[in-house]
């Protein structure tokens, strides 16, 4: 089976080589758990390896996103086949129409067109919470079933960023995304003692894959992401 590598050192081995191509993967985590950075880096590294990718940013502006990613060492973006769609900008320019539009529908049409025309291999949506706030979901379960079905039918691997409250009830999505997604990567900050906090990553599920389920420490060293074993106290 073809797999999309994450290029996070040590992680692809735990996933049997990577994420099965064509999967819809949820990247869940509380605020500041590097959901954006990790997802962007997966697209970035794949583009460096020859793929084409589309990053759809609903709230963070293109300028802010680029600056943040460059400060993390993801440089040379201007010459890469990594396209950033800045929905925030479109929203600001069409403020009066914002509420009358159903962005879930608009985005679906846009993604469909661009994946077919430009041949994107990877697509990321940052974030689902922002998308929901712009869409009137009459029946969320049904609407998301169709949205996920559409994404699965695409000739691309998709990453959907899902914001979960810190110290929440354990749910990794707002509706039924956990059950609709093919895979879930979960990021979480662990308090260690009185003062330290450690960022950890775990693969909660990955269909068609025999994978590890445990937590690993996620480190960004200025050049790449890497995993280290999490020692349980």
Ligand X SMILES: Nc1ncnc2c1ncn2[C@@H]1O[C@H](COP(=O)(O)OP(=O)(O)OP(=O)(O)O)[C@@H](O)[C@H]1O
Which residues lie near Mg ion (CB under 5 A)? 36
Minimum CB separation of residue 132 from Mg ion in Å reads 15
Q: In this structure, what token pair is assigned to residue 38?
A: 């990790």
Site membership for ligand X, residue 36 (CB under 6 A): yes
Site membership for ligand X, residue 32 (CB under 6 A): yes
Question: What residue number has its CB nearest to Mg ion?
Answer: 36
Q: Looking at 26, 72, 87, 130, which residue binds ligand X (CB under 6 A)?
A: 72
Site membership for ligand X, residue 37 (CB under 6 A): yes
Q: Which is nearer to ligand X, 33 or 46 (CB)?
A: 33
Minimum CB separation of residue 164 from ligand X in Å reads 10
Site membership for ligand X, residue 158 (CB under 6 A): no
Number of helices (H), then strands (E), in the chain: 9, 11
**Alpha-carbon radius of gyration of the chain:** 17
Chain centroid, CA 56 distance in Å = 10
Name the strands in the sheet holding 157-163, side by side, starting at the edge strand that comes first in the sequence. Answer: 82-86, 53-57, 122-126, 157-163, 24-29, 183-192, 196-206, 216-220, 225-229
Where along the sequence are the contacts to ligand X (CB under 6 A)? 29, 31-37, 71-72, 163, 220
């Amino acid at each position: 089976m073809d797999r999309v590598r994450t290029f996070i050192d040590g992680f692809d081995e735990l996933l049997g080589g990577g994420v099965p191509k064509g999967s819809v993967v949820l990247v869940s985590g509380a605020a500041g758990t590097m959901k954006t950075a990790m997802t962007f880096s997966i697209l970035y590294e794949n583009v460096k390896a020859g793929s084409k990718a589309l990053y759809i940013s609903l709230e963070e502006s293109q300028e802010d996103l680029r600056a943040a990613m460059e400060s993390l060492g993801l440089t040379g973006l201007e010459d890469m086949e990594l396209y950033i769609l800045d929905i925030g900008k479109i929203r600001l320019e069409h403020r009066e129409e914002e509420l009358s539009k159903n962005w879930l529908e608009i985005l679906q049409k846009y993604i469909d067109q661009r994946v077919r025309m430009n041949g994107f291999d990877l697509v990321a949506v940052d974030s689902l919470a922002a998308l929901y706030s712009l869409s009137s979901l009459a029946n969320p379960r049904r609407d998301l079933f169709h949205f996920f079905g559409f994404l699965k039918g695409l000739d691309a691997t998709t990453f959907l960023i899902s914001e979960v409250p810190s110290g929440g009830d354990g749910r990794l999505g707002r509706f039924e995304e956990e059950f609709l997604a093919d895979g879930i990567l979960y990021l979480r900050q662990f308090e260690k003692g009185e003062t330290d906090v450690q960022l950890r990553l775990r693969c909660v599920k990955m269909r068609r894959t025999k994978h590890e389920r445990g937590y690993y420490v996620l480190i960004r060293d200025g050049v790449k992401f890497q995993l280290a074993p999490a020692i349980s106290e």
